[in-house]
């Protein structure tokens, strides 16, 4: 039994490590520019890359600890941090080589990871009761509106203020669904205390943690600061928001999954 668990753990670490090593090798191959000691934005990219790698391995290993109905949620958490880690290697590369904001890489990352984070609301409720598919699609619509609005402004396809407003409307739509919409009602009526607690904490992250992103957009594009200062502020704020929101989200899922699994095993 112990041997099989050990082999499973080793295989998962090896698989995760192989993917991340491949990504990092590509990142290193893309440039020979060294990371400067006073480049705090570049340093933040590397710190967050390593944190995301560690979180990925942790979430995949912990799948063996939870009951089957929670494995998908932990898998999604691991995928979020894995995709983000791969992109952060490349974003660090763009920044160190050019000093430019890696807008395209960042939005490709978000276009994959943010919908996955929204799916987590649907998954944790689906683990304990039947959830209408409309909940899933409403969360997806809000997410896409938020991301598309932000990208149009940052990439220069639309004036920054109208794009900012569109992105904020998408975020408001998500907040409505998880605080007053059907997802919130299902959580209040059907979920056990541990799931309700996780759902509420996830809502706080989407409210408070995600509020960091509009701050980054504001300081990056709407203050009238010099391009260099704006780029520094934008990337440091976005990097901090990503590591907080993506890892913290997964840890909340992990906590409730372990708690519910251990409670079921005792019955």
**What does the pLDDT look like over 33-62, one tens digit per residue?**
777 888 889 999 999 999 999 999 999 999
Separation CA 257–CA 73 (nearest Å): 8
Farthest-apart Cα atoms in the chain, separation: 62
At 21 the pLDDT is 53
Is 45 inside any structural domain?
yes
What predicted TM-score, i.e. pTM, was given to this entire model?
0.83
82 inside domain: yes
**CB crowding 119-145: b at 16 or more within 10 Å, else e:** bbbbbbbbbbeebeeebbebbbebbeb
Q: Is residue 24 part of a domain?
A: no
208 domain residue, yes or no: yes
CA distance 175 to 45: 29
Helices within 180-267 (DSSP H only): 182-190, 193-204, 212-217, 227-266
Q: Please state the domain count of the chain.
A: 1
Q: Is residue 14 part of a domain?
A: no
Taking all residues of the chain, what is their mean pLDDT, rounded to a whole number?
85
Burial of 200 (0-12, 13-18, 19+ CB in 10 A): middle
Does residue 7 fall inside a structural domain? no
Question: Which has the closest alpha carbon to 202: 133, 139, 111, 134?
Answer: 139
Distance, CA of 68 to CA of 92 (rounded, Å): 37
| Per-residue pLDDT band at 178 (split at 50, 70, 90) | very high
120 in a domain, yes or no? yes
Domain limits for position 214: 37-261
Length of the chain: 267
Q: Tell me whether residue 8 is in a domain.
A: no
Nearest to 57 by CA among 93, 89, 21: 21
Average pLDDT (156-161) is 94
In CATH, what number is assigned to the domain containing residue 212? 1.20.1070.10
């Amino acid at each position: 039994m112990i041997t099989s668990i050990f082999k499973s753990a080793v295989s998962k670490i090896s698989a995760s490590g192989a993917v991340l090593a491949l990504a990092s090798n590509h990142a290193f191959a893309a440039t020979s520019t060294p990371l400067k000691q006073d480049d705090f934005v570049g340093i933040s990219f590397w710190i967050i890359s390593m944190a995301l790698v560690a979180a990925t391995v942790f979430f995949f290993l912990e799948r063996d600890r939870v009951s089957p109905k929670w494995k998908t949620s932990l898998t999604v958490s691991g995928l979020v941090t894995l995709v983000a880690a791969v992109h952060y290697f490349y974003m660090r590369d763009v920044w160190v080589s050019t000093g430019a904001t890696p807008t395209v890489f960042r939005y490709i990352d978000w276009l994959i990871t943010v919908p996955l984070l929204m799916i987590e609301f649907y998954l944790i409720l689906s683990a304990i009761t039947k959830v209408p598919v409309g909940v899933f699609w409403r969360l997806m619509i809000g997410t896409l509106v938020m991301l598309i609005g932000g990208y149009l402004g940052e990439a220069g396809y639309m004036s920054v203020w109208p794009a900012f407003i569109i992105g904020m409307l998408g975020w408001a739509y998500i907040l409505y669904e998880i605080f007053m919409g059907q997802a919130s009602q299902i959580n209040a009526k059907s979920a056990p205390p541990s799931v309700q607690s996780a759902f509420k904490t996830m809502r706080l992250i989407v409210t408070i943690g995600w509020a960091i992103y509009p701050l980054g957009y504001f300081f990056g594009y709407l203050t009238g600061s010099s391009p260099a200062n704006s780029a520094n502020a934008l990337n440091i704020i976005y990097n901090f928001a990503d590591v907080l929101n993506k890892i913290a989200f997964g840890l909340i899922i992990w906590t409730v999954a372990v708690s519910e699994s251990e409670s079921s095993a005792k019955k």
